[in-house]
Structure 1
Amino acid sequence: MKIVITGSLGNISKPLSIALIKKGHSVTIISSNPAKQQEIEQSGAKAAIGSLSDTMFVNTAFSGAEAVYCMIPFDFSIADQDAHMKQILGNYVQAIRQNGIKKAIFLTGWAAEIAGHGLNAVQKELEGVAISELRPSIFYTNFYQMMDMMRGKGTMGLVMGLRAYGIRALFGRRGLLIGNYGADDRIVLVAPEDIAAAAAEEFDTPVSGLKVRYVGSDDLTCNEAAAIFGSAIGKPWMKWIRISDKQMLQGYKMAGLPEGLASDLVKMQAAIHDGTILAQYDRHRPVLGKVKLTDFVKEFAKKYI
Structure 2
Amino acid sequence: MGFGYKLTGFDYMRLYKCGYLWSMKIVVTGSLGNISKPLSIALIKKGHSVTVISSNLAKQVEIEQLGAKAQIGSLTDTQFVIAAFTGADAVYCMTPFDFSVADQDAHMKQIIANYVKAIQHAGIRKVILLTGWAAEVAGHSMTEVYKQLADVNVSELRPAIFYTNFYQMMDLMRGKGLMGLVMGLQAYGIRALFGRRGLLLGNYGGDDRIVLVAPADIAAAAVEEFESPVTGVKIRYVGSDELSCNEAAAALGAAIGKPWMKWLRITDKQMLQGYKMAGLPEGLAAGMVKMQAAIHDGTVLAQYDRHKPVLGKVKVKDFAREFAKRYI
Shorter-chain TM-score bucket reads over 0.9
Task: Say which of 290, 306, 310 aligns to 1:283.
Answer: 306
**Residues 210-251 of structure 1: CA deviation (Å, up to 9, x unaligned):** 100000000000000000000000000000011111111112
1:80 CA drift (Å): 1.7
Normalising by structure 2, we get a TM-score of: 0.87
Residue 239 of structure 1 is matched in structure 2 by 262
- 1:175 partnered with 2:198: yes
Match of 2:243 in 1: 220
Q: What amino acid maps onto 2:88 in structure 1?
A: A
> Which residue of 50, 61, 81 corresponds with 2:84?
61
The Cα RMSD (Å) is 1.8
- Given the superposition, is the C-alpha separation of residues 262 and 33 from structure 1 closer, same or farther in structure 2, using an over 3 Å criterion? same
Match of 2:71 in 1: 48
The more displaced of 233-242 and 112-121 is: 112-121
CA distance in 1, matches of 2:145, 2:50: 24
Offset, 1:121 = 3.5
Contact 1:232 1:297 in 2 (8 A): yes
| Matching residue's letter, 2:288 | L
**Which among 16, 24, 44 is matched to residue 47 of structure 2?**
24
Q: Structure 1 residues 252, 124: closer, same or farther in 2, change over 3 A? A: closer
The answer as to whether partners of 2:203 and 2:266 remain within 8 angstroms in 1 is yes
Distance change in 2, residues 1:170/1:80 (3 Å)? farther
Equivalence for 2:115: 92
Corresponding residue number in structure 1 for 2:281? 258
Shift, 1:5, TM fit: 0.4
Alignment of 1:115 with 2:134, yes or no, is no
**1:260 to partner: Cα distance:** 1.2
Q: Deviations over 1:100-144 (max 9, x none)?
A: 000000100001111111555332311100000000000000000
Whether 1:209 aligns to 2:237 is: no
Q: Give the Å deviation of 1:53.
A: 0.7
Residue identity opposite 2:302 in structure 1:
A
Task: Measure, in 2, the Cα distance between the counterparts of 1:139 and 1:168.
Answer: 25
CA distance in 2, matches of 1:17, 1:185: 34
Check 1:253–1:124 CA distance in 2 against 1; reply closer, same or farther (3 A cut): closer
Counterpart in 2 of 1:229? 252
- Provide the residue aligned with 2:172 in structure 1: 149
1:120/1:144 CA distance change after superposition, 3 Å: closer
- Name the SS of the counterpart of 1:133 in structure 2: strand
TM-score (norm 1): 0.93
Unpaired runs of at least 5, structure 1: none
Q: Is the 8 A contact 2:39 2:219 kept in 1?
A: yes
Residue 103 in structure 1 maps to residue 126 in structure 2: yes
Inter-CA distance 80–170: structure 2 relative to 1 (3 Å threshold): farther
SS in 1 for 2:211: strand
State the Cα deviation string for residues 32-76 of structure 1 (Å, max 9, x = none). 111111111111110100011100000000010000000111111
Q: 1:147 to 1:200 in 2, by over 3 A?
A: same
Q: Secondary structure at the match of 1:78?
A: coil
1:129-182 deviation digits (Å, cap 9, x = unpaired)? 00000000000000000000000048x9xx69xx8xxx7945964101111000
Seen in structure 2, the aligned counterparts of structure 1 residues 250 and 120 have a Cα distance that, compared at 3 Å, is closer
The amino acid that maps onto 2:315 is K
Aligned residue identity for 1:82: D
Q: In the alignment, which residue of structure 2 is the partner of 1:304?
A: 327
CA distance in 2, matches of 1:265, 1:120: 18
Greater radius of gyration (CA)? 2
Contact 2:115-2:145 at 8 Å conserved across structures: no
CA distance in 2, matches of 1:282, 1:49: 39
Name segments (4+ residues, structure 1) moved above 6 Å. none
**Secondary structure of residue in 2 paired with 1:28:** strand
**Does the aligned pair in 2 maintain the 1:123–1:209 contact within 8 Å?**
no
Q: CA deviation at 1:81?
A: 1.4
After superposing the two structures, state which structure 1 stretch, 80-89 or 190-199, moved more.
80-89
SS in 2 for 1:205: coil
- Pair 1:54–1:170, CA change in 2 (3 A): farther
Q: How many residues are treated as equivalent by the alignment?
A: 297
Q: Secondary structure at the match of 1:47?
A: strand
Contact 2:56–2:73 (CA<8 Å) still a contact in 1?
yes
